[in-house]
Chain A
Amino acid sequence: MIDKIITTDVLIIGSGGAGASAAIKASECTVDVTIVTKGRMGHCGATVTGEADCDVDGKSLCDFGLPADPRDNQEIFFEDIVKGGKFLSNQKLIEIHVKEAPDRLKELIEWGVRIERVVKASGHTYKRGAIIPGNTLMPILKREVEKRGVNVIEDTMVTNLLTNGGRVVGAVALDIQNGEFIVFKAKAVIMATGGCMGIYPFTTAPEELTGDGYAIAYRAGVELIDMEFPMFIPGAFVWPPALKGVIVPFLLSAAGEVHGWLLNKFGERFMERWAPKTMEHSTRDIVSVAMMMEILEGRGSPHGGVYVSLKHLPDNLIEDIPNWRPMVKDWKYGGFDLKEFFPLDKLKKEAMEAAPYCHFTNGGIKINEKCETNLLGLYAAGEVAGGIHGSNRLSGNAFTAMLVWGARAGKFASEYALKTDFGEIDINQVEAFKNKIFKVFERTEGIKPIELRKRIQKLAWENCGVIRDESGLKFAIKEIERMRDNELPRLYLTVKTKVYNKEWVEALQIDNMLLILEMIARAALLRTESRGAHYRKDYPYTDYKNWSKNIVIRELNGKMDLYTQPVIVTKLKPPEKILPYGMVE
């Protein structure tokens, strides 16, 4: 029944930056560490896609000899995170976050990571973004993982956690390469699977990020927090097809660099209506909402976005951009030769087209200071963990969170594993999970995974995306319930092979996507205000007075249950006011 059993003290699910950081720290204790990943380490997950800034307070950066501002310190960094997240961050976590960020950056420098420059992104009082491209960071992290003898199992998708007597005892997985069913026996499990951006049709993240970790944890009785806040950025190209998902380099640049003007189809610079002072330099949540409003109200561009224009610049300045802008050196960007699509002469005449894309998941598995969840033996770190970013992540804090919390999860999980025995595997549980994986082969007709995936993504985009309202969210919940009850059980595979069957993996992912979309929709419906990455058209103000609390999601008696809890405050109290959305107090 079981093709393979793998025994390990600490099992880490996910091989990106958080998983790697956890593995490195865990292997400093005398424990066996195994990473299992759905993709291929170094060639999957969001870490490699980060351009990316890694936030550390300016004073510490100066201590490392980096060009930053010594007036900055950890207190100010703390305040910026809490204010940027609109007072929903767990402040106990943020105190640790700002304190340990320099230690992690120091470690990276010792491992040979080069910091290209330091930038000041919107929402930060000072320059704190140490630029470390993810595709140079990940090979170094992978090398450090390999050096420590960590077992890395690739092309293997975990579908469920095994539990017994209220603790985690392992996990089950599908080996995508050959269709084998694998059981992992583990003392501790660290979830490091990243976000759920793949539930949206427009995402800057790899499409395999279907939020598996949230769904796996939820099904094992784990609580999640702040799930109404998937974050969107302004914006990525919507045209041509090859550039879909690629961030437009003139929209997210640091302060002081060239910004494109955002225009609607009437040529109106619509940011004037939202943030007349900061315009396109406003934080990413507000620019995304503004862009999406133009798109939804029919003032967008032909390929479903809005226009990004550089025409306000003189021709010779446009020509000069590739010479001084490191991101688009030689007019190459993210592996693409921009001459193919946008020769500089064309940009003197024509606008590009961009839309908000889902970029990050602010919420996630609820953790405490030790990365512990409410399930004994289960830890979470990186994007899959919630509580750090509140309702909106600051630019550059994804890498910091990945490194700080990855390392902490590795430390505390291995300490726990050292004083724990392996738990008993419940064979009935194993069998039930196996049946669920293979059931889809039994049906010979029904709904194809690709069709259902597209329907889920459309619903996510139209009703649970950048802009929400009560009727749209209620419609979405009805649709989700209908798909769960009538369509999910009818999924079938047109491809019968068990060897690298993409359709099979897709079917397993869809199960997770639908569950997560339900979490987002229900939490978004409950939160009757607009804050950070959550914009309610019918409640367009931030209600600090009544809504400065977190929504927690769990499974209760087979149903999705939501409750609110007070925000954990250590230093900075939320204001008592009700303010129009986007207004900075």
Chain B
Amino acid sequence: MAEVKKIITVKIFRFNPKEGQNPKYQTYKIPLTEGMSVLSILKYIYENEDSSLAFYYSCRIGKCNGCYLIVNGKIVKACTTIVHDDITIEPLHGFKIIRDLVVDLKVKT
């Protein structure tokens, strides 16, 4: 249905401190269609490529402020940020990391 515009490279921060895994970046090749957000990409990965990816979101429409991440070095909401090219996705800085992109907003580091 949706025409794939191009294949992009998505680099994602992975870390599981509770189970002793070291931080690393993992790369995924994703078919980008028109009008995909960072959240659409994360959901695509979770559903089709790698269900072990941990990330938090709720409303998908820019209102709950639950999906703030760092994309290409900038703090953005994953759901309202549209992807046009390769991206690097990291968790918010300054908070304890629970796993991958999920941080504990109550514990600052």
Using a CB–CB cutoff of 8 Å, the interface residues on chain A facing chain B are 39-40, 42-45, 48-49, 134-135, 177-178, 204, 206-208, 239-246, 302-303, 334-337, 340-341, 448, 450, 494-495, 497, 499-503
Contact = CB atoms under 8 A, between A and B. Distances in A.
Interface residues of B, number: 39
B61 A39 contact: no
Interface string B3-40: 00000000000001011000000000000011111011
A495 B61 contact: no
A242 B36 contact: yes
A105 to B, nearest CB: 21
A44 B19 contact: no
Given A242-B82, A497-B99, A502-B51, A178 B36 contact: no
B60 to A, nearest CB: 5
Nearest to B99: A500
Contacts of A207: 58, 60
A320 B79 CA distance: 27
13 contacts: A43-B56, A43-B64, A43-B65, A48-B58, A135-B64, A204-B61, A241-B2, A241-B33, A241-B35, A242-B40, A337-B80, A495-B51, A501-B54
Contact of A44 (B1, B66, B104): B66
Nearest to B84: A340
A40 B35 contact: no
B77 A335 contact: yes
Given A39-B58, A206-B59, A497 B19 contact: yes
Contacts of A497: 16, 19, 52, 99
A42 B68 CA distance: 14
A567 B107 CA distance: 51
B64 A241 contact: no
A44 B61 contact: no
A241 B36 contact: yes
Given A135-B63, A240-B34, 18 more contacts: A39-B56, A39-B58, A42-B64, A43-B56, A44-B66, A239-B35, A240-B36, A241-B2, A241-B35, A243-B35, A334-B61, A334-B63, A341-B35, A494-B51, A500-B98, A500-B99, A501-B52, A502-B53
B105 interface: yes
B62 interface: yes
B19 A499 contact: yes
Nearest to B36: A241
Contacts of A335: 61-63, 77, 79-80
Contacts of B104: 177
A548 to B, nearest CB: 37
A557 to B, nearest CB: 38
A134 B63 CA distance: 8
Contacts of A240: 33-36
A242 B79 contact: yes
Given A335-B77, A340-B82, A502-B51, A39 B66 contact: yes
A44 B58 contact: yes
A39 B79 CA distance: 17
B47 interface: yes
Nearest to A179: B18
A359 to B, nearest CB: 13
B61 A49 contact: yes
Contact of B46 (A178, A303, A340, A502): A502
Interface in B57-109: 58-66, 77, 79-80, 82, 98-100, 102, 104-105
Given A303-B1, A497-B19, A242 B80 contact: yes
A245 B55 CA distance: 19
Given A240-B35, A494-B51, A499 B65 contact: no
A49 B16 contact: no
Given A241-B35, A495-B52, A206 B64 contact: yes
Nearest to B102: A500
Contacts of B105: 40
A432 B90 CA distance: 39
A147 to B, nearest CB: 17
Nearest to B100: A500
A501 B59 CA distance: 19
Contact of A245 (B60, B64, B100): B60
The 4 closest A-B pairs by CB, nearest first: A335-B62, A240-B35, A43-B66, A242-B37
A303 B54 CA distance: 29
Contacts of B60: 206-207, 244-245
Given A340-B82, A502-B51, A48 B63 contact: yes
B61 to A, nearest CB: 5
Considering residues B18, B53, B55, which has the most beta carbons from chain A within 10 angstroms of its beta carbon? B18
A208 B58 contact: yes
Nearest to A304: B1
Contacts of B37: 241-242
Considering residues B37, B51, B61, B63, which has the most beta carbons from chain A within 10 angstroms of its beta carbon? B61
A179 to B, nearest CB: 9
Contacts of A134: 63
A501 B53 CA distance: 8
Contacts of B82: 242, 340
Contacts of B58: 39-40, 43-45, 48, 206-208
A415 to B, nearest CB: 32
A239 B33 CA distance: 11
A494 B37 CA distance: 26
Contacts of B53: 502
Nearest to A134: B63
Contacts of B33: 240-241
Nearest to B1: A303
Given A43-B64, A48-B63, A242-B79, A499 B99 contact: yes
Given A40-B56, A242-B82, A334 B16 contact: no
A243 B34 CA distance: 11
Contact of B62 (A206, A334, A502): A334
A49 B59 contact: yes
Nearest to A303: B1
Contacts of A135: 63-65
